[in-house]
Amino acid sequence: MIAIYPGSFDPITFGHLDIIERGSRLFEHTIVAVLGNPNKQPLFPVSQRVRQIRACTQHLPNVEVDSFAGLTVEYARQCNANVLLRGLRVLSDFEKELQMAHTNQTLWDGIETVFLATSNEYSFLSSSVVKEIARFGGSVEHLTPELVALDLYQCFAKTPPTVKPTAIEPSPPPTPPRVCDSKKNFHA
């Protein structure tokens, strides 16, 4: 059975990875589908989010990472998937996700939505929270994989909190700019 785990993943967090790993144990094949959502202004472009997720899930042989635009049920139909995998953190997530599950079923009766409760240690975590912390120079290595944390620090032109340069160290060589828009306002 093939499951689709759709989302914007901007950026991917340890909470997302928890759902992906658990989903990979439940389903033969899990496709993490990065949505280019026209209602959101992403920090990272879809291609960069796909690369980040691929790097973070390379240890899971039955997980594939892809991107799509449009209706999730149409993408699922194209992939021969009949399960949508969704994570639930809080009660308000359930209300929104249940409405979406019912809507998706009206679009295609061959789709089912499976909800996984987020592990306790990630119940507070969202991509918005991670971006807000990084934007103001806080440490995010405990919330998202290291490579994503580094992308966030570079995007917001912040020195990672764990690295404290001293006056006697030479300046590092300039690094090429990453594609992101750090001028957007994010609120937790």
| CATH value at residue 87 | 3.40.50.620
User: Considering the domain boundaries, does residue 181 fall inside one?
Assistant: no
Query: Is 127 labelled as part of a ligand binding site?
Result: yes
Number of domains in the chain: 1
Q: 126 a known binding residue? A: yes
Ligand-binding site membership of 72 (annotated): yes
Residues that are catalytic: 16, 40, 89, 127
Does residue 94 fall inside a structural domain? yes
pLDDT, tens digit (0-9, with 9 covering 90-100), for 48-83: 999 999 999 999 999 999 999 999 999 999 999 999
Q: Assess if residue 188 is contained within a domain.
A: no
Full domain range(s) for residue 50:
2-122
Residue 75 near residue 6 (C-beta atoms within 8 A): yes
Q: What percent of the chain has pLDDT over 90?
A: 74
pLDDT digits (tens, 9 = 90+) for 24-34: 999 999 999 99
Residue 96 assigned ligand-binding role:
no
> For 115-155, what is each residue's pLDDT tens digit?
999 999 999 999 999 999 999 999 999 999 999 999 999 99
Q: Would you place residue 180 in the very low, low, confident or very high pLDDT band (cuts 50, 70, 90)?
A: very low
For the chain, count helices (H), then strands (E).
6, 5
**What is the model's pLDDT at position 162?**
55
Band of the pLDDT at 186, cuts 50, 70, 90? very low
**Could you tell me if residue 174 is inside a domain?**
no
Triad 57, 53, 45: Cα angle to 5°: 170
Residue environment code for 78-109, b if the CB has 16+ CB neighbours within 10 A, otherwise e: ebebbbbbbbbbeeebeeebeeebeebeeeee
pLDDT, residue 92, reads 81
Virtual torsion, Cα 65, 68, 72, 74, nearest 10 deg: -110
- Alpha helices per DSSP H over 108-157: 127-135, 146-155
Could you tell me if residue 32 is inside a domain? yes
Task: For residue 108, tell me if it sits in a domain.
Answer: yes
Is residue 152 domain-resident? no
What are 5's strand-pairing partners? Answer: 32
User: According to the annotation, is 128 in a ligand binding site?
Assistant: yes
Residue 45 placed within a domain: yes
